[in-house]
Amino acid sequence: MPVQTSCPSLVIDVVTIFPEMFTAWRGAGVVGKAVESGRVAVRAHDLRAWSQDKHRKTDDYPFGGGAGMVMCPEPLFAAVDSLCAGDSTVILMSPRGPVLTQSMARSLAARKHLILLCGRYEGVDERVHEHLVDLEISIGDYILSGGELAAMVVAEATMRLLPGVLGDAESLEQDSFAPGHGMLGWPQYTRPREYRGLAVPDVLLSGNHAQIAAWRREQARELTGRLRPDLLREPAAHEE
């Protein structure tokens, strides 16, 4: 069982109309270990709790007409007012924002309190964009039904960078987009040594650590050049 820490390194409050989506995620894998150890606190809040409408509505028709519904500003402002502390960073999951990178996740991991707002429908009232949030983040150039999955991605990418969350800190150094190289990770192999006529490269079985390190660097660069050449052309985009 992970050792409980006295005070979490990071508190993440998620504001959503579907807080139940976070129940299983919060208790599984790396996220579950981080929460159980006390290094991270993750709390999912129902936005409807801050609605002033008798039916607990959080959305309404857009002024000027058009398809769909827009999330009202009042519940979102009230939620942030209630949850915000002096060191809070308010983040809206939004296709307007820059796409999440490892560098951005490292920056967020240095914060103490994140409030993640999950939009729905046709988006949120423009006053939320302009006057409530500190940062908007996208996880890619596509549309989801809401910001919940994006919030999970942002939260997990961030919390796994905190000291002690991963069992083996060396894993962070070997990750794709890790600081210092900004490339994809090298190919990995495990037992059996041969499977269906496909053998593990001899160098990995040689015991020569210098040769293994050189092979891994070469393979990472080759793989990145073949699959993500943009990372080699623009390494600064993935660095601090």
Contact of 75 with 51, CB cutoff 8 Å? yes
Residue reference for tokens 């979102």: 76
- Supply the angle between the helices 148-159 and 29-37 in degrees, to the nearest 10: 60
Catalytic residue among 95, 106, 120, 148: 95
What letter would DSSP give residue 203?
Answer: G
Sheet arrangement for strand 88-93:
40-46, 10-16, 113-118, 88-93, 135-137
Note if 175 is an active site residue. Answer: yes
Catalytic residue among 36, 46, 74, 122: 122
Catalytic residue among 46, 175, 222, 239: 175
The structure tokens listed for 127 are 């006053």
Catalytic residue among 39, 106, 120, 160: 160
Note if 122 is an active site residue. Answer: yes
Question: Using CA atoms in the order 200, 206, 208, 214, what is the torsion angle rounded to 10 degrees?
Answer: -30
What letter would DSSP give residue 146?
Answer: B
- Residues serving a catalytic function are 95, 122, 160, 175
